[in-house]
Structure 1
Amino acid sequence: MKLGIMRTIRKLLLTAGVICLGFIQSTQAQTSTLQPISLQTVEDSFLVRNYALLAQRYQIDASQALIRQAKIWSNPSFSALLGFGSTNNIQPFKIGKDGETGYSIDQLIQLAGKRNKNIQLATTATRMSEATFDELLRTLKLQLRENYFNLYYQQQTGKVLKEQLDNLQTIVKAYVDADQKGSVAHADLIRLQALQVGLENDYADLKQQELESQKNLQQLLHSHDFYEARLGSTELASYSLDKLQLQQLLDTAGINRPDVRVADLEYQTAHLNYRLQKAMAVPDLHVGASYDKQGSYVDNFVGLTLGIDLPLWNRNQGNIRSAASQIKVNQQQLLQQQSIAQTEVLNAWQQIITLEKRYKSFDLHQFQGEFDTLINEVAKNFSKGNITLLQFIDYFNSYSDNAKNINTFLSKRVNAYEELNYATGQELFKK
């Protein structure tokens, strides 16, 4: 009875192993087509291929065109009077020798500096489009780098797990042969196969995470390629707080961060609009000339025309009051955005401080190297029968967990520095 249960468990484990191996083989086939790519190459491609960035660049061009439009004077208006005789004697288009014609031309001249104020508003709108572009770039660049670093460390973990799978498959194969000869306990083979299935599941989960990072990169780069992230030690060496001052970063973020600049420009726009609305209360001047063939007290009359609206009822009171209130609204929004920026800088800084304490507490790379040596010795001693199966499984699981934990930690560390870049709106750690 127990033997039947053991065989059933073994079949289930083998079935799960076949399913995992099928997924792993498909991802391995995909891995063979990976395109090696550096972080710099990714960023260069991103700047010229991302549709959202390209669209925002065109928006800047559109705003600049509105500056040119604001500088153009209003077109003059022209009107003509064509004689139709009199009520007693209708003579359509009687404009000859005994007929009547008249012409007038009128030019609007804006007073109180309205034209210059409109130019200033259009210029501020262009600066806002540029700040919006910088804000979009800041957000997308964070996503790009985070996905690139995640992909790199996922692939590093995948290499370790794949090597461990290869080693374990060799051991399991030897145990299967030995089990058929009856020279090892069948229960030990089941335990090894269970360990193999568990590792294959971990590897499959990791590959799913890697595919998610690949998908995010493909969307940002608008590409169908699959990438192999490659990072050199020098590219990561610049991530340090040694030359930075927290207060300076807080002050800079409260002024120069793109979203703060957008809020500040909206505040400036509110001020400019208030000045424009006050100017709109001043009537504009109409200057023109007129010609009348023979409808005046003299023939071929020429005259100068002047006109202005009389501000009796509408003095733009409502728009002025609304613009004054909008200044207060935008002022509070600016203060809010400055507070958000400084809070994000402080939190990003503290996150790095916390991670750096762990990072500097011991040499992760040396520790990983020593663990690699240890697991190789464990495999050799297990093959020679110097350690028990339970000890081997314990060491094996510890090694796999260690590889995953170290790479996850390193990914969190470098992404924390990128979060500080994002929070300050600056490139603090240039390679």
Structure 2
Amino acid sequence: MRTMTTLIVSVCVAGLGFIQPIQAQSPSKTAVTLQAVEDSFLVRNYMLLAQRYQIDASKALVRQAKMWNNPSFSAVFGFGSTNRIMPFNLAGKGGEVQYSIDQLIQLAGKRNKNVRLAAAATRMSEATFDELARTLRLQLRENFYNIYYLQQSEKVLKAQLGNLQRIVDAYVTADKKGSVAHADLIRLQALQVGIENDYADLKQQELEAQKNLQQILHTGDFYEATIVAADLARYKLENLQLSQLLDSVAKNRPDVRIASIEYQTAELNYRLQKAMAVPDLHLGGTYDKEGSNIDRFLGLTVGIDLPVWNRNQGNIKAAQLQIGAEKQQLQQQQSIAQTEVLNAWQRITALEKRYKSFDLDMFRGEFDTLIAEVAKNFSKGNISLLQFIDYFNSYSDNAKNINKFLSNRVNAYEELNYATGQELFKN
């Protein structure tokens, strides 16, 4: 009995390699850095590519708005008279041919105002592209960091399961010989099931993050996220002022720029609608070969609509009211942006207080030492199997909690990037 117990304890102590994460990578996964997936994202994401086409289309409409209206041409060919039909009687006695050309000339600066509206539409397309890129970049980075920290936790749990399996196998053999209490084997197997469930949960979370990343990058590849210390060292609030970030959102956030452009567009449309109340001028010329007492008559034609009934009153009033609506939308978007910046800042501040309150590397080392001491005391019979199981289980919880905290911390910084519309933390 004593010999078998010693053997089991030795296996337990030897199995304490779970404190070192497994370094082997799955051959089905591609090791990538954040920079690599971002470079791929910019050239492979279909939504971004589609929005680039939209920008080019908007620029084409600016060129179109600069074009003059085409002149109109008309002709009259003589067909004789009601007394005598003579088709296409163009010359001689009773012959007639007449040509007219007409050019529409827009007054009150309508053409320039339409050009400005088209230019505003181009700026809107560009701001929409920036907003789409900002949103997708946040999703990409959050999923990348989630994958990285989930994989770190998985390595710890995978190592634990490997070592725990050896312990369970030893207890199964001992249980068959009656050398250990069967209840102890049941407790170990229950621990094994619990850790396996935790590992499966982590894998499910990782698969969800992998799926999100694949959808953004439009690929079927699975990734092994790679991060070096320098990638994380840049995340700090040094040299940043909250007041400056709050003041800069109007300039840097694409969604605020979109609201601002919509307000500017409403103002431009109001000016255009007022200009539309001014009639346009028709200027042209006419040539009549035989149709008057003057042979080969030339004339200048001038025409203009008379604004008697329709002076565009309804469109002008609607455009004026739209300015008020867009102004309120702009103020609302600015308020939302500042609130998001403030909340992101406060979240980072709270996380940094916890992050700086203890040295994670030292904590991990101390916890590893603690587990080793627990193993020694267990081998000496100073602690029970239940206590050993409790410490064993606490180690996986510690690994998951630390990695979850680190993931939350780095994603909080990325949310501040998103909230401000800037790249605040560059290498």
For the aligned pair, the TM-score class normalised by the smaller chain equals over 0.9
Tell me if structure 2 keeps the 8 A contact 1:255–1:338: no
> Does residue 84 of structure 1 match 2:79?
yes
Cross-structure match for 1:332: 328
Residue 194 (structure 1) shift:
0.8
SS where residue 87 of structure 2 aligns?
coil
* Length, aligned pairs only: 403
Cross-structure match for 2:89: 94
Residue 32 (structure 1) shift:
2.9
> Does residue 122 of structure 1 match 2:118?
yes
Cross-structure match for 1:269: 265
Return the match for 1:155 from 126, 143, 151. 151
1:158 maps to a residue whose letter is E
> Does residue 360 of structure 1 match 2:356?
yes
Cross-structure match for 2:228: 232
Tell me if structure 2 keeps the 8 A contact 1:63–1:129: yes
Query: Which structure 2 residues correspond to residues 6-405 of structure 1 after superposition, within 5 A?
Result: 31-98=26-93, 99-379=95-375, 381-382=377-378, 385-405=381-401
Residue 170 (structure 1) shift:
1.1
Residue 180 (structure 1) shift:
1.6
1:70 maps to a residue whose letter is A
Cross-structure match for 2:20: none
**Partner deviation per Cα, 1:51-107 (whole Å, 9 max, x = no partner):** 111111111011000000000000000000010100000111111333210000000
Identity %: 76
The separation in 2 between residues aligned to 1:383 and 1:233, in whole angstroms, is 38
**Partner deviation per Cα, 1:308-361 (whole Å, 9 max, x = no partner):** 111111111111111111110001110000000000000000000111110000
The separation in 2 between residues aligned to 1:174 and 1:198, in whole angstroms, is 19
Change beyond 3 A, Cα 1:172–1:383:
farther
2:74 maps to a residue whose letter is S
Residue 382 (structure 1) shift:
3.6
1:371 maps to a residue whose letter is F
The separation in 2 between residues aligned to 1:93 and 1:384, in whole angstroms, is 123
Tell me if structure 1 keeps the 8 A contact 2:91–2:290: no
The separation in 2 between residues aligned to 1:378 and 1:44, in whole angstroms, is 47
The separation in 2 between residues aligned to 1:408 and 1:279, in whole angstroms, is 60
Tell me if structure 2 keeps the 8 A contact 1:254–1:342: no
Residue 378 (structure 1) shift:
3.1
1:271 maps to a residue whose letter is E
Structure 1 outlier segments of 4+, above 2 Å: 29-32, 372-387
Tell me if structure 1 keeps the 8 A contact 2:25–2:224: no
Residue 379 (structure 1) shift:
3.8
1:135 maps to a residue whose letter is E
> Does residue 408 of structure 1 match 2:404?
yes
Residue 249 (structure 1) shift:
0.2
Cross-structure match for 1:6: none
2:108 maps to a residue whose letter is A
Residue 184 (structure 1) shift:
1.1
The separation in 1 between residues aligned to 2:121 and 2:316, in whole angstroms, is 20
Residue 174 (structure 1) shift:
1.1
SS where residue 228 of structure 1 aligns?
strand
Residue 384 (structure 1) shift:
5.8
Residue 371 (structure 1) shift:
1.4
Tell me if structure 2 keeps the 8 A contact 1:266–1:330: yes
2:82 maps to a residue whose letter is T
The separation in 2 between residues aligned to 1:398 and 1:30, in whole angstroms, is 25
**Partner deviation per Cα, 1:109-132 (whole Å, 9 max, x = no partner):** 111111000000000110011001
Cross-structure match for 2:6: none
2:309 maps to a residue whose letter is W
The separation in 1 between residues aligned to 2:114 and 2:332, in whole angstroms, is 28
SS where residue 219 of structure 2 aligns?
coil
SS where residue 195 of structure 2 aligns?
helix
Residue 256 (structure 1) shift:
2.5
SS where residue 336 of structure 1 aligns?
helix
Change beyond 3 A, Cα 1:217–1:383:
farther
The separation in 2 between residues aligned to 1:388 and 1:260, in whole angstroms, is 62
The separation in 1 between residues aligned to 2:304 and 2:292, in whole angstroms, is 23
**Partner deviation per Cα, 1:250-296 (whole Å, 9 max, x = no partner):** 00013331000000000100111111111111111111110001101
Residue 376 (structure 1) shift:
3.8
Residue 387 (structure 1) shift:
3.1
The separation in 1 between residues aligned to 2:341 and 2:241, in whole angstroms, is 11
Cross-structure match for 1:10: none
The separation in 1 between residues aligned to 2:374 and 2:163, in whole angstroms, is 12
1:50 maps to a residue whose letter is N
TM-score of the pair, normalised by structure 1: 0.91
1:88 maps to a residue whose letter is N
2:326 maps to a residue whose letter is N
Change beyond 3 A, Cα 1:407–1:30:
closer
The separation in 2 between residues aligned to 1:44 and 1:167, in whole angstroms, is 40
Tell me if structure 2 keeps the 8 A contact 1:154–1:407: yes
Residue 381 (structure 1) shift:
4.8
2:47 maps to a residue whose letter is A
Computed over aligned residues only, the root mean square deviation of the Cα atoms, in angstroms, reads 1.4
SS where residue 211 of structure 1 aligns?
helix
